[in-house]
Amino acid sequence: MVPTRARCTLLALAASIAVAACGQRQDDAAAPAADAISPVAPAAAPGDAAPVRDAEAIAALEKMGAALRGLDRFGLKAETSTDYVTDSGQKVSVDGHASWRVRAPDRFVASVGNDRQQREFYYDGQSLTLWSPKLKYYAVIDPVPPTIGELVTQVAAKGIEFPLPDLFLWGTPQAPLEQVTSAFLVGPALLDGEQTDHYAYRQPGVDWQVWISRKDSLPAKVAITSQADPALPSYTARLHWDKAPATGDAAFAFKPPADARRIDFVPANAGSAGEER
């Protein structure tokens, strides 16, 4: 069953598949467009006490951000689960996947999708190509910002949201720790044989959790719950890292198939013919 209305609010830490990425068409039986970092039930501080903002939990977040910013290239695959809410208020969970191949500061190829739809993104520092393999449509945005971090923040205004965008924001001024109102260690956790520490955080409108690897301080799992919707939709992503992927220029070049059709990109917020298209 496809939810009639996807209301999962993907806040500062979440990302969605941009259905409008290749024009205003929908693909694959109007499947839900969102695929983002999403959560489990929000972790709760003990009792009904005032919010806990533990210094060690904040320090762990800073260390994770530094580890992410220290990667000059990486590959990443993620299994995701996203909640959608129907008009009747019933939540439906949809499993999906996301991947990245990155060469900092200005190259990446990313994909996100589920059983019903797929989106791919190609960035070479000068243009961004959005490709729908099932529909065989692609659109090109040019010019674009010269770095991945700038691109992630600026194209959001056009209605484009990449999978797991906060991987490029943690450890930068774009993810200020002052916004965190609650932070505490839930406890140790073993994920697929990997030792991690499980932390819970709260910011205005969102509860989120992260499992940080003890080996390299990279996030091994992320969970986000939106407080903006009374149904509390959530998203989870289990992350698998490759620190030495192939990163030659050819890996980031989009080569349209012979049957591909280029179309104009129409921003999701375009309200009239006179606006940017």
pLDDT in tens, 38-70: 333 344 444 556 789 999 999 999 999 999 999
Please give the share of the chain, as a percent, with pLDDT higher than 70: 79
Mean pLDDT across the chain? 83
Compute the average pLDDT of residues 194-220.
97
pLDDT band at 277 (very low <50, low <70, confident <90, very high): very low
Question: DSSP 3-state assignment of 115?
Answer: coil
pLDDT at position 20 over 50: no
pLDDT per position as a tens digit, 73-106: 999 999 999 999 999 999 999 999 999 999 999 9
Q: Rounded to an integer, what distance in angstroms lies between the CA atom of residue 106 and that of residue 244? A: 17
Which of 26-40, 164-178, 180-194, 233-247 comes out lowest in average pLDDT? 26-40
Q: Rounded to an integer, what distance in angstroms lies between the CA atom of residue 267 and that of residue 155? A: 9
Compute the average pLDDT of residues 181-188.
98
CB-CB contact of 236 with 209 (8 Å): no
| pTM: predicted TM-score of the whole model, two decimal places | 0.80
Write the CB contacts of 232 (distance below 8 Å, at least 6 apart in sequence).
41, 42, 225, 226
